[in-house]
Amino acid sequence: MDEADLIARYFAPLAGPGGLGLRDDAALVAPPAGAEIVLTADALVAGVHFFAGDPPEAIAAKALAVNLSDLAAKAADPLGFLLTIALPGDWTPQWLEVFAKGLGDLARESRCPLLGGDTVATPGPLTLSITALGSVPAGRMIRRAGAKPGDRLYVSGTIGDAALGLALRRAELEGAPAPPWVDALDAAQKAHLVRRYLVPEPRLALTPALRACASAAMDVSDGLAGDLSALLRASGVGARVDLREAPLSPAAAAALRADPGLFEILFSSGDDYEILCAAAPEQAVRFEALAGGAVTAIGEVGPASAGAVFLGPDGDKLNFARDRYSHF
């Protein structure tokens, strides 16, 4: 099929009203009254951000989810997204049908319809790029650069699952040796970790709490320690963080008990896609109530002169050899 047939068959059914049926050269979106537009973009490449053998519906959901995570961290409501997909020569209609279903399921669930984009062929690996649009009441976007001394630091969900899931997925697909901590996990725990790696869970439900109470926020995409350091630099502050308080899933906790050497890896690896934020102490009770138990306090913001102090498993300062995933 040609490009027009491909778009009409797989992607036009996912389009929202602003996408104009994907029959025009551009989309048309009207922001809500009194709102500003928030834009974010992420590119994913097979062999770098996901395995080529991952389920197509998971690849599609991950591509959209990582952008929705950015919108959630900015306290923005999704409006829609643009998709560019570069398909290698071995794509099949069956693969693309499942990909489109995974994309459409998350788009509907998050109320973030497809607005347009581009479809091309490539001799290289499968490459995806999504640009997502959101809206936020004027002046209410939560930036990185708003944390103040005395603010409490919070993180949503659980940390480190995706790093462990990646290790399990690599052993499954590439024949790498299974890590020794695997024997401490049951089948359900292993499945949980792999799922957390394959399909991030954007924390859109936290948007009202962030908008009402947060002074600074970003999503944890490259590692909790490194991303927190980036937030502190942007805000011109320091912090004291007790990583023993950071939330772990039962699966990650079991792996850590089996191999205490995982501690640094859990807090310096990517793909968590949780929300890291700061809130003034007088907002803490309200924030925690609005968040409905979905966040955990892990530290407190201090003056810039104090730097970023991370307490490790023994309560002493932990110096990371590498505090986040690096793209280059």
Question: Would residue 174 be called left, alpha or beta, if left means φ above 0 and alpha means ψ between -120 and 50 degrees?
Answer: alpha
Point out which residues pair with 43 in neighbouring strands. 129
Q: Which tens digit of pLDDT belongs to each residue from 211-261?
A: 999 999 999 999 999 999 999 999 999 999 999 999 999 999 999 999 999
Residues with Cβ within 8 Å of residue 108, at least 6 apart in sequence: none
The rounded distance, in Å, linking the Cα atoms of 301 and 233 is 12
Indicate the Cα dihedral angle 69, 152, 308, 146, nearest 10°: 60
**CA pair distance 20, 300, nearest whole angstrom:** 48
Contact between 94 and 59 (Cβ < 8 Å): no
Chain mean position to CA 298: 19
Q: 174-199 pLDDT, tens per residue? A: 877 889 999 999 999 999 999 999 99
Can you give the pLDDT at residue 326? Answer: 63
Residue 323 reports pLDDT greater than 80 = no
Q: Is 221 annotated in some ligand binding site? A: yes
Helix (H, G, I), strand (E, B) or coil at 178: coil
Which residues lie across from 119 on neighbouring strands?
Answer: 85
110 is in an annotated binding site: no
pLDDT interval class at 320 (50, 70, 90) = confident
Q: Is 40 annotated as a binding residue?
A: yes
* 117 assigned ligand-binding residue: yes
* Structure confidence by residue, pLDDT tens digits, 278-313: 999 999 999 999 999 999 999 999 999 988 999 999
Give the pLDDT confidence score for residue 176 in this predicted structure: 77
Q: With b meaning 16 or more CB within 10 Å and e meaning fewer, what string describes 34-53? A: ebeebebebebebeebbbee
Instruction: Assess whether pLDDT exceeds 70 at residue 9.
Output: yes
Find out whether 118 is annotated in a ligand binding site. Answer: yes
Q: Is 273 annotated as a binding residue?
A: no
- Domains plus CATH for the chain? 3-137 (3.30.1330.10), 152-311 (3.90.650.10)
Q: Are 164 and 193 in contact (CB under 8 A)?
A: yes
The model's pLDDT over 121-131, given as tens digits with 9 standing for 90+, comes to 999 999 999 99
Residue 144 known to bind ligand? yes
Q: Within the chain, where are the H helices?
A: 3-6, 56-73, 93-109, 161-174, 187-198, 207-213, 224-235, 250-258, 263-266, 284-291
Q: What is the DSSP letter of 91?
A: -
